[in-house]
A and B are shown apart, each in its own frame.
Chain A
Amino acid sequence: MNNSTFEKHRILLVEDEENLAIGLQYNLTEEGYIVELAKDGREALKHFETKKIDLIILDIMIPYIDGFEIARRVRKKDPQMPILMLTARTTREDKVKGLELGADDYITKPFHLDELLLRIKGMLKRKTWYKDVTSGKPLVGFGKNKINFENLSCSNGKNDFNLTPQEAMVMKYLIENKGKIVSRKELLENVWHLNPDIETRTVDNFIARLRKYFEVDPSKPVYIKSVRSAGYMFED
């Protein structure tokens, strides 16, 4: 399982369940990551502000400042920071809230170690991939919408806002494949770097959010269209 490529990646693990934190710390260290452990929200922010962090694994129900608030504050300071929410809360509302506040991925307890490690690798890989693909043509416009893929800033004619790295990557992939049908499977494999059997609902959640940003009427999308039982298609 060791991979020298990730040796220098520093992961901030925010988990207040002592045993789980010890187990995760051991496994992540074995994988070659440097792990910074925070047992509550205050410690998490302190680590984030004082250390160079490459990825955050974040529990939601933690003392002092909850995971949602941490995600919001982190995202404000560093829009490109990959955040993986790891939580026992499984309601759809929690998941949507987590993703809306800027988590890139969401994994529920109890989880499989392999799946967690794969997702972490995927997220770190995406971070590098994103830097590569956006270096060529960072500015894109369609309709009244404008996206700057370099700093993730956007405008839809009415509001200015920022995309999360994950949202930006989905958008980038769809735009690069303009006029072609992109399946959920393809998105999961190429953007999430995940086995598509894991969860196709994640893709749908992201598409719904992108439509909210860029479509005048998200229920009747003009740019990000659904193709029945096939996937999605971007049209300018």
Chain B
Amino acid sequence: MKRRHFFFYHVVIFIIAQIAWLSLIGLWIYWYVYNYIVYKEVGDHVSPEISFDITNAGPFVIGLVLLVGLSLITIWIFRHLNVQLRLTKLYDTFISNVTHELKSPLSSIQLSLETLKTRDVPREKQKEFVGMMIKDVNRLTRLINSILQIPALEQKKFAYSYQIYSAGSVIKQILNDSIEQFRLPLETVNIEENAICEFVIDIDGLKTVFDNLIDNAVKYSLQPVKINVNISCTTQKVVIEFNDNGIGIAPKELKKVFNKFHRVYHQNIPNVKGTGLGLYQVKEIIKNHGGKIYIFSEGDGKGTTFKIELPIYQVFKKRFLTNLLKRSEQKKQLEIINE
């Protein structure tokens, strides 16, 4: 109901603005034509000294200013309205997705607990139920953390622990951890690494990036997923190319995939679960590392490639290092105080 009122309110303002400026033009023309005719017909008789050649620019200028002002107001209102409506729609989708993502593991935990409470469950099965509950709790924790992380990422207040790593080996290690976490067969991910350079990263941040990319590759694939990762170094940056054999992304969607709450809908795979925060989070993390991320896809069924560029240590050092290491140090101190 509130949304309807909100929409109605903006439409009414728009209609009033339209009526106002149309009336203004009407009145303005009427006034001008009327005066012109009157002066032309009777002006000579009443006051011959009035010169018709003198143009009075005042009404024109004021009229034009008002007209431009009204047009700008109308445009502003409609831009505002569209942004609001889009945000409301995205927010609704987000709430609906998050609700689903929260309720599913919660239902599973409740069912496991009630089963253990009401039935005489054999010992082996009990272990299975406990294992499922732990998995669901972890899923809830990840979801809540990812939601809570967003404002911190946006305000650059996220407490990273930046350290210097050897690029190739650490990315390989992160990828292998993710493969294990997603229980993917080892042959699913093929890693080609030729990156003998160092970079400064927060290992948990980069793990979140690859977790999200792998999760998407698995979810948006009609066939068994196959991922190729290529890691290399240039004189300036570490380049990671992450390619999957999934359903691909339509060209018009490519620009939007990093937007907050945006979900890609594909008719061949409807009802893919998620919050619309994953790739947004990925983009923010890479940005906070001083890097860039690009996405390429040749369209339906052609797979997707993400290209991540992160500055190597020597470049990174000049621009960010002091600041980032200081922040990491502050985080460590806070952890010591909390302990």
Contact = CB atoms under 8 A, between A and B. Distances in A.
Partners in one complex: yes
Interface of A: 1, 17, 19-20, 22-24, 26-27, 30, 61-66, 88-91, 109-114
Interface string B218-247: 000000000000000000000000000000
Given A61-B271, A62-B271, A26 B115 contact: yes
A175 B135 CA distance: 51
Given A61-B100, A89-B96, A19 B105 contact: yes
A112 B99 CA distance: 18
Contacts of B268: 64
Interface stretch (B8-16, B42-50, B106-114, B289-297): B106-114
Contact of B108 (A20, A30, A64): A20
Contacts of B106: 109-110
Contact of B107 (A22, A26, A109, A114): A109
Q: At the interface, is chain A mostly helix, strand, loop or mixed?
A: loop
A110 B108 CA distance: 8
B184 interface: no
Interface string B249-274: 00000000000000000001111110
Q: Which of B114, B135, B136, B268 has the most CB of A within 10 A?
A: B114
A88 B125 CA distance: 26
B114 A88 contact: no
A64 B270 contact: yes
B103 interface: yes
B301 to A, nearest CB: 16
* Residue with the greatest number of chain B CB neighbours at <10 A, chosen from A1, A17, A91: A17
Interface residues of B, number: 28
B123 interface: no
Contacts of A63: 269-272
Contacts of B51: none
Which of A23, A65, A90, A114 is packed against the most chain B CB atoms within 10 Å? A23
Nearest to B103: A88
B132 interface: yes
A88 B115 contact: no
Contacts of A114: 114, 118
Nearest to A88: B103
Nearest to B113: A113
Contacts of A109: 103-104, 106-107
Given A20-B104, A23-B129, A88-B104, 20 more contacts: A1-B118, A1-B119, A17-B105, A19-B108, A19-B112, A20-B108, A22-B132, A23-B132, A24-B111, A27-B115, A30-B119, A63-B269, A63-B270, A63-B272, A88-B103, A109-B103, A109-B106, A110-B103, A110-B111, A112-B114
A32 to B, nearest CB: 13
A61 B96 CA distance: 11
A62 B128 CA distance: 24
A217 B232 CA distance: 72
Contacts of A110: 103, 106-107, 110-111
Contacts of A91: 96
Contact of B132 (A19, A62, A65, A89): A19
A71 to B, nearest CB: 15
Contacts of A61: 100, 271, 273
Q: Which of A22, A65, A112 has the most CB of B within 10 A?
A: A22
A30 to B, nearest CB: 6
23 contacts: A1-B118, A17-B104, A17-B108, A19-B108, A19-B132, A19-B135, A19-B136, A22-B132, A23-B111, A23-B112, A27-B111, A30-B119, A63-B269, A63-B270, A63-B271, A64-B268, A64-B269, A88-B103, A109-B107, A110-B110, A110-B111, A112-B110, A114-B118
Given A19-B105, A66-B270, A66-B271, A113 B100 contact: no
B111 A20 contact: yes
Interface in B124-147: 125, 128-129, 132, 135-136
B99 A88 contact: yes
Contacts of B132: 19, 22-23
Q: In this complex, which of B99, B108, B128, B136 has the most chain A Cβ atoms within 10 angstroms of its Cβ?
A: B108
A9 to B, nearest CB: 19
Contacts of A27: 111, 115, 119
Interface string B63-107: 000000000000000000000000000000000100110011111
A102 to B, nearest CB: 19
B308 to A, nearest CB: 29
A175 to B, nearest CB: 36
Q: Report, nearest first, the 10 A-B pairs whose CB atoms are least far apart.
A: A88-B103, A109-B107, A110-B107, A19-B108, A23-B111, A113-B114, A19-B132, A20-B108, A88-B100, A109-B103
B215 to A, nearest CB: 15
A5 to B, nearest CB: 19
A68 to B, nearest CB: 11
A181 to B, nearest CB: 33
Contact of B111 (A30, A65, A113): A113
B47 to A, nearest CB: 71
B244 to A, nearest CB: 18
A111 B110 CA distance: 8
A91 B105 CA distance: 19
